[in-house]
Chains A and B, each alone.
Chain A
Amino acid sequence: MIKYHPQQELLSLHIKGELPLSMSLAISAHAELCGTCQHKLNLMTASESADVFDNHVEPNISVDLDSKMSFLLAQMMQNTLDELDAKPAAPVNEGVTEVTVKDQSYPLPRAFRHQINAQWQGIGKVSRLRLNTGEEHARASLLHIAPQGEIPEHTHKGSELTLLLAGEFSDEYNTYRPGDFMLLDENHQHSPKTMTGCLCYTIVDAPLYFTKGFSKLLNPIGELLY
């Protein structure tokens, strides 16, 4: 059973398309692993589309808008639609459906299929593949921890999202399974460990600051780990 789900508010912003790419990817991937949230999202989308399309008082259609609409429609009716049908279907780019790290392959949720443009990098048991979401303040990555691996204890400046995609890991708070969606804020310290290895999707909205012993030295590349 998945124990940790995105809050209602995040789901609601997600179906409106109002979250940044990094977080939209997380919600979509969670829903692919969680039937309950997928079902909720479906219902919320139906309700939202009714709000947007049906419940609104018909907007005042200005003469200007009306003429623009007529022009566009005429254009589509006369040319565009036929051109679209005449055009051979563009080859579908399926993107990446699976990642391999440390000789282990994992299927990827479909939201990530066009996000994998970099290579795995890492030290020891921890590997990271950065996603280029184009967001200034958020770093989104796939994170792989090999069996028996752990991330040194750290806090976050700003918050950190971890979505477990495969395998298991534990920290001071709990043990997690695929689909678990954890948002931690700067007040939480934790040191995730895994027995059998895991693949996560993570977002940090500021560099990590390691808080324990020698790994303080890791700071310059701590930023790169996630």
Chain B
Amino acid sequence: MENFQSQTAQNRYDKARLAKNNGAIQLSNKNELDAEQLAELMLKVANLRCKVSFAKLFNHFGPKISAFGNQRLHQQGLAMDLVQETMTRVWTKAHLYSEDKAAVSTWVFTVMRNQCFDMLRKVQHNKEDSFGDDIWPLFESDDAESNEDDFKLSGTLLRHVDELPPLQRQIVQGIYMQEMTQQELADKLDIPIGTVKSRLRLGLEKLKGFMEKHYD
């Protein structure tokens, strides 16, 4: 079952496991499981929906996730939320786990980190979004096609320019499309340069308003 990889991180990981296993013998900690035991439990959860195996995974990872959450989330109660959310996903997404791609602890870490990222966004920005799994995929997606692309293209700035009052439009077009200077425009239109400036300012503010309202 051992796969020999020459990658440094993998070596470090094996060493870490080895050290932990030695420690575990001394401490005889009943919750400490090695990588193979964890993989076996994951498979049972994925294929047999085995709750006993899930409970073992819970006891193994729960306190570790809670410790990570305490460090990261700085808020009472959120660490337990992180445990609950992470372990819920371990149950519902177990079928996505592949032994060939990652160790169980790496996979659970990914699930936890993604969840924690979304929770932090909620705390810091009050945003109810879940982008973690987009940024750090849990598995290789095989759903390449999606034709429900209802993305529509409309409303360029140029069209907004046409919506400006004529006097402002004249100035904005002169400066941005004909690349004239303010003085050239003032001369051409026979108006004071101050008027050019104020019409330009008004026009730009209006354009900014047109554009910004799409983002609010």
Contacts and interface: CB of A to CB of B under 8 A. Distances in A.
A45 B153 contact: no
A114 B16 contact: no
Given A84-B92, A110-B134, A94 B109 contact: no
Contacts of A123: 157-158, 176
Given A21-B131, A97-B146, A122-B156, A214 B175 contact: yes
Contacts of A59: 63-64, 66-67
A135 interface: yes
Nearest to B207: A221
Interface residues of A, number: 70
12 contacts: A28-B134, A46-B13, A46-B106, A50-B105, A53-B108, A55-B20, A61-B63, A65-B63, A69-B62, A99-B151, A118-B214, A124-B177
B7 A214 contact: no
Nearest to B176: A123
A48 interface: yes
Given A50-B105, A58-B27, A94-B146, A132 B134 contact: no
Contact of B155 (A24, A100, A119): A119
Contacts of B49: 81, 85
A54 B117 contact: no
Contacts of A132: 215
Interface string A119-154: 111111001001010110000000000000000000
Given A49-B105, A56-B67, A119 B153 contact: yes
A53 to B, nearest CB: 5
Interface in A75-103: 76-77, 80-81, 84-85, 92, 94-101
Interface in A29-75: 42-56, 58-59, 61, 65, 68-69, 72-73
Given A59-B63, A81-B91, A224 B176 contact: no
Majority-rule SS of B interface residues: helix
B191 interface: no
Interface string B16-54: 110110000001010010000000000000000101001
Given A69-B83, A110-B137, A55 B143 contact: no
A16 B113 contact: yes
Interface string B64-105: 101110000000000010011001100110000000001101
Contact of A17 (B117, B177, B207): B117
Contacts, number: 191
Given A17-B113, A221-B157, 19 more contacts: A24-B135, A43-B10, A45-B109, A45-B110, A46-B10, A49-B106, A50-B105, A50-B106, A52-B64, A52-B68, A59-B66, A69-B62, A77-B54, A101-B153, A111-B134, A121-B155, A123-B158, A220-B205, A221-B207
Majority-rule SS of A interface residues: helix
A95 B134 CA distance: 10
Contact of B134 (A16, A113, A134): A113
Given A97-B149, A113-B134, A221-B204, A43 B83 contact: no
Interface residues on B, range: 35 or more
Contacts of B125: 134-135
A2 interface: no
Nearest to B60: A53
B59 interface: yes
A76 B149 CA distance: 38
Which of A15, A121, A220 has the most chain B CB within a 10 Å cutoff?
A121
Which of A28, A49, A65, A120 has the most chain B CB within a 10 Å cutoff?
A49
